[in-house]
Chain A
Amino acid sequence: MSFIIVFMWSFVLWLVLTAGTKGMLWSAEELAAGVVFSLIVGYATRDIIGEKAGRFLNPARWVGFIVYSIGPLFWGMVKANFDVAYRVITGKIKPGIVKVPVDLENDAQYTILSNSITLTPGTLTIDACPDEKALYVHWIYVTDEHPESSEPISGSFEKWARRLGK
């Protein structure tokens, strides 16, 4: 099962890399070479990708990822960049490391939320501790030293991460 996932994952990248070999599409020999190399890569890395990665083959989840990345994530990055520009100009900073309790279950959810938090400037995930169900986040302007949820730091990202990585 995980062999098929890696195969498709690498074959999609191959298609992206070799697009345009026959008009805008792919020539037959490129497709054949892609299948061969994807088989090799898939066989070599089949037990690295993780057993439950098959849930990311669901097209509804791809739509979710696209909506998330051009909607909430992009908007959050724009807002946060202007906020950091303001802090650079005025020098009003109050940095600190806070422990943020999160309600997530698996690795993918932790990764999505941590990367989203790191991508929005002003906050930087230092460590993810699934045992404590918490993230440690370095914050440029600490308004709440002991937050009850991830709401003040990341807005709606936790809800999205829970849905996308489920």
Chain B
Amino acid sequence: MSEDMGLIVKTMARATIPLIGIFGAYVISHGHLTPGGGFQGGATIAGAGVLFLIAFGLSEAKKRYDHHVYSALESLGGLVFLGAAMLGLSVAFFYNTLWRKGIAFAGEPGTLLSAGYLPIMNLAVGLKVFAGLVSAMMAIAVYRRWKE
């Protein structure tokens, strides 16, 4: 039994996986402007990973999945979130010093580079959710005790 899908599904997956990825990046990076944000965008990108696993099969997905890389990315996302929260620690935890002092991401509200630490936190949460969901999905996919 082949574990990958047919030719049509695979060809469509080749074309749509980059599109899902860039759409997820759009949702994440515009989290402070439009509906969506870190979790929604990260789950969207993880959907591209699910599509890859289902369309191309487990053996192909295993070749491209490195446990250590995804583990490190997930930790990195959490640390960046915590780091952004601690930037204004001289005043208070979660104090948006980037925005109040106009250091970075301090553009006019409604533009991409505004809202202080929110874009950074959205990116961090998106990375964490993506890496976490893909890792969880791969862990479930390789768990195949019923085969032996």
A29-B111, A41-B18 as given contacts; A110 in contact with B7, CB under 8 Å: yes
Say yes or no: A111 contacts B12, CB within 8 Å.
yes
A25 to chain B, nearest CB (A): 14
> Which residues 87-111 of B have a CB within 8 angstroms of A?
107, 111
Say yes or no: A29 contacts B112, CB within 8 Å.
yes
Encoded as 1 (CB less than 8 Å from any A CB) or 0, chain B from 1 to 44 comes to: 00000111011111101110111011001100000000000000
Q: Chain B interface mostly helix, strand, loop or mixed? A: helix
B81 at the interface (CB under 8 A from A): no
Contacts of A44 in B (CB 8 A): 21
> Which residues 16-75 of A have a CB within 8 angstroms of B?
17-18, 21, 27, 29-30, 33, 37-38, 40-42, 44-45, 48-50, 53
Say yes or no: B18 contacts A45, CB within 8 Å.
yes
Say yes or no: B21 contacts A10, CB within 8 Å.
yes
B52 at the interface (CB under 8 A from A): yes
Other-chain residue from B6, B18, B112 in contact with A48 (beta carbon distance below 8 A): B18
Say yes or no: A107 contacts B7, CB within 8 Å.
yes
Say yes or no: B18 contacts A14, CB within 8 Å.
no
Contacts of B111 in A (CB 8 A): 21, 27, 29
Contacts of A6 in B (CB 8 A): 18
Q: Chain A interface mostly helix, strand, loop or mixed? A: helix
How many chain B residues sit at the interface, stated as a range, is: 20 to 34
Other-chain residue from A18, A37, A45, A110 in contact with B17 (beta carbon distance below 8 A): A45
Say yes or no: B26 contacts A17, CB within 8 Å.
yes
Say yes or no: A49 contacts B7, CB within 8 Å.
no
A14 to chain B, nearest CB (A): 6
A95 at the interface (CB under 8 A from B): no
A45-B17, A53-B14 as given contacts; A14 in contact with B22, CB under 8 Å: yes
Contacts of A38 in B (CB 8 A): 22
Bound complex: CA A159 to CA B106 (Å): 55
Bound complex: CA A124 to CA B126 (Å): 38
Query: Nearest residue in A to B29 (C-beta to C-beta)?
Result: A33
Contacts of A53 in B (CB 8 A): 14
A119 at the interface (CB under 8 A from B): no
B126 to chain A, nearest CB (A): 11
Q: 10 A-B residue contacts at CB 8 Å?
A: A10-B19, A17-B22, A29-B107, A41-B25, A44-B21, A45-B18, A49-B18, A110-B8, A128-B6, A130-B7
A residues adjacent to B (C-beta < 8 A): 6, 9-11, 13-14, 17-18, 21, 27, 29-30, 33, 37-38, 40-42, 44-45, 48-50, 53, 107-108, 110-111, 114-115, 125, 127-128, 130
- Beyond the given pairs A10-B21, A44-B21, A45-B21, 5 more chain A to chain B contacts, judged by CB atoms under 8 angstroms and listed by A's residue number, are A13-B22, A48-B13, A48-B17, A107-B7, A110-B11
